[in-house]
């Protein structure tokens, strides 16, 4: 009986660590007590603020410690001309394991490509030629386009009207929090929920 | 009952209900959710955000009760108007800065937009009207409806 239980425990641990390991659009442990779905638009300046000031420490202190499962979702706003191509490229980058590099770059250079529209050139500038070629193809792939559209539809279903919006779920309750919330305030809220 | 008394009665009941509803929507959720709504305006230091998040819903509750009960009307009407003026100014500032945030007025999911500005602007006008009606009345009417 004991070895059987041990085998189950080991396979469960492997399953959880497999979910936790891959740094993509969803990061952390899927069994973490809190889930945050972050709906953002790469061309939105307040999403950049949230990304630059809040998401980094959130990942270090909560996601990497298996307290928060973070799912980043695409929510390109119609008012931003290059938000959709940027989302397709980020989604394509996710398929080749380059999501973090590409999303960081998109936010860092937002002002430039937001003005000149050279999203693809910007993204490809940090990739090897073969990766750039794959991403260009993948960004036009119907599966990638449909994944972005699915995220957008999911946001619409949750009545999201602005970006960034975090939907923070814990113990069956969900709180939609829009805006570039400071990390210290978010930390207080998460600590409070974890302490309950 | 004179016309101005009737209008004052309607205004204080309507505004009282709005204050009570605003308090209810904030008090039924964790107070830190409201703190995050205030924080998203990016105007105040953290200590001020936390203090306002803790106290404002209770102040709204008291204003609502006093308005409906018709107690200390002249002063409550002024206090309510000042608070609504601050709300309106802060919302206008956030709107002109293009912040995609909740207005925080009536709990979660109340996105800041020109519609919320029109709504809060109308409430501010109604509150100012109530102040005018309360202060133009005779001293004997001051503390009752």
Structure ipTM: 0.78
CA distance from start to end of chain B = 10
Range of lowest pLDDT (B9-18, B82-91, B97-106, B125-134): B97-106
Residues in chain A where the model's pLDDT stays below 70: 1-24
Portion of chain B with pLDDT greater than 70, in percent: 93
The pLDDT, as a whole number, for residue A167 is 95
Q: A interface mutation test: which of B26, B49, B50, B101 has the most A CBs within 10 A?
A: B101
Task: Decide if A189 and B100 are in contact by the 8 Å CB cutoff.
Answer: no
Q: Which of B35, B40, B98 sits opposite A178 (nearest CB)?
A: B40
Res A159: pLDDT:
87
Among residues A170, A154, A176, A160, which one has the least CA distance to residue A62? Answer: A170
Mean pLDDT of B105-119: 87
Burial of A148 (0-12, 13-18, 19+ CB in 10 A): buried
| Whole-number pLDDT of residue B137 | 61
Whether A181 and B49 lie within 8 Å, measured CB to CB: no
Strand partners of residue A124: none
Nearest CA in chain B to A41: B100
Closest CB from A44, A46, A175 relative to B33? A175
- The Cα of B24 is separated from the nearest Cα of chain A by a number of Å equal to 16
For residue A4, the model assigns a pLDDT of 47
The residue in chain B having the minimum alpha-carbon distance to the alpha carbon of residue A178 is B101
The DSSP secondary-structure symbol of A25 reads S
In 3D space, the residue among A82, A54, A85 whose CA is nearest the CA of residue A72 turns out to be: A54
Candidate from B32, B46, B102 with C-beta closest to A178: B102
β-pair partners for A36: A70, A168
Judged by CB atoms closer than 8 Å, whether chains meet at B100 and A176 is answered as no
Range in A49-63, B11-25, B62-76, B98-112 the model is least confident about: B98-112
Q: Is pLDDT above 80 for B126?
A: yes
Q: Which residue of B has its CA nearest to A159?
A: B109
User: Of B109 and A37, which is predicted with more confidence?
Assistant: A37
Of A49-58, B11-20, B94-103, give the lowest mean pLDDT range: B94-103
pTM: 0.81
Looking at CA atoms only, how far is residue B82 from chain A in angstroms? 26
Which helix (H) or strand (E) element contains residue A85? helix A83-95
| Mean pLDDT along residues B85-108 | 88
pLDDT at A9: 47
Mutate to test the interface with B, among A83, A157, A185, A188 (most CBs of B within 10 A): A185
Kindly report the nearest CA distance between residue A28 and chain B, in angstroms.
23
* B interface with A, Cβ–Cβ below 8 Å: 29-30, 32-33, 35-37, 39-40, 42, 46, 49, 98-102, 108-109, 111
What is the SS3 assignment for chain B? CCHHHHHHHHHHHHHHHHHHHHHHHHHCCCHHHHHHHHHCCCCCCHHHHHHHHHHHHHHHHHHHHHHHHCCCHHHHHHHHHHHHHHHHHHHHHHHHCCCCCECCCCCCCCECCHHHHHHHHHHHHHHHHHHHHHHHCCHHHCCCC
Question: How near does any CA of chain B get to the CA of A127, in Å?
Answer: 32
* pLDDT-based confidence at residue B138 (cuts at 50, 70, 90): low
How much is the pLDDT for A39?
95
Among A46-55, B76-85, B131-140, whose mean pLDDT is lowest? B131-140
Cβ contacts of B106 on chain A, cutoff 8 Å: none
**pLDDT-derived band of residue B3, with 50, 70 and 90 as boundaries?**
confident
As a whole number of angstroms, the distance between CA A123 and CA B33 comes to: 36
Residue A180 distance to chain B (closest CA, Å): 6
Q: Do A162 and B111 touch (CB under 8 A)?
A: yes
Nearest beta carbon to residue B109 from set A176, A181, A189: A176
pLDDT at res. A49 = 92
Of A90-104, B26-40, B85-99, B101-115, the range with the lowest mean pLDDT is B101-115
Q: Which domains does chain A have, with CATH numbers?
A: 23-195 (3.40.30.10)
């Amino acid at each position: 009986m004991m070895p059987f239980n041990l085998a189950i425990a080991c396979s469960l641990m492997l399953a959880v660590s497999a979910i936790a390991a891959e740094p993509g659009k969803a990061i952390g442990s899927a069994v973490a007590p809190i889930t945050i779905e972050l709906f953002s638009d790469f061309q939105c300046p307040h999403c950049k603020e949230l990304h630059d000031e809040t998401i980094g420490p959130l990942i270090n202190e909560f996601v990497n410690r298996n307290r928060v499962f973070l799912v980043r979702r695409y929510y390109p706003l119609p008012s931003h001309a290059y938000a959709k191509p940027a989302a397709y490229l980020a989604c394509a980058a996710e398929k080749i394991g380059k999501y973090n590099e590409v999303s960081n770059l998109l936010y860092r250079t937002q002002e430039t490509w937001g003005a000149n529209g050279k999203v693809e050139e910007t993204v490809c500038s940090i990739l090897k030629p073969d990766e750039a070629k794959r991403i260009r193809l993948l960004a036009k792939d119907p599966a990638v386009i449909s994944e972005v559209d699915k995220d957008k539809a999911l946001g619409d279903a949750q009545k999201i009207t602005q970006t960034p919006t975090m939907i923070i779920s814990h113990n069956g309750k969900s709180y939609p929090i829009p805006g570039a919330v400071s990390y210290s305030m978010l930390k207080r809220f998460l600590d409070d929920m974890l302490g309950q | 009952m004179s016309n101005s008394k009737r209008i004052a009665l309607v205004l204080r009941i309507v505004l009282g209900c709005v204050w009570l509803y605003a308090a209810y929507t904030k008090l039924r959720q964790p107070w830190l959710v409201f703190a995050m709504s205030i924080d998203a305006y990016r105007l105040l230091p953290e200590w001020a955000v936390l203090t306002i998040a803790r106290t404002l819903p209770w102040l709204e509750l008291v204003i609502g009760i006093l308005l409906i009960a018709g107690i200390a009307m002249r002063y409550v009407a002024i206090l309510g108007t000042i608070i609504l003026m601050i709300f309106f100014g802060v919302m206008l500032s956030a709107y002109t800065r293009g912040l995609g945030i909740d207005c925080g007025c009536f709990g979660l999911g109340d996105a800041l937009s020109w519609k919320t500005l029109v709504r809060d602007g109308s409430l501010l006008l109604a509150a100012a009207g109530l102040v005018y009606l309360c202060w133009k009345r005779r001293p004997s009417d001051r503390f009752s409806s």
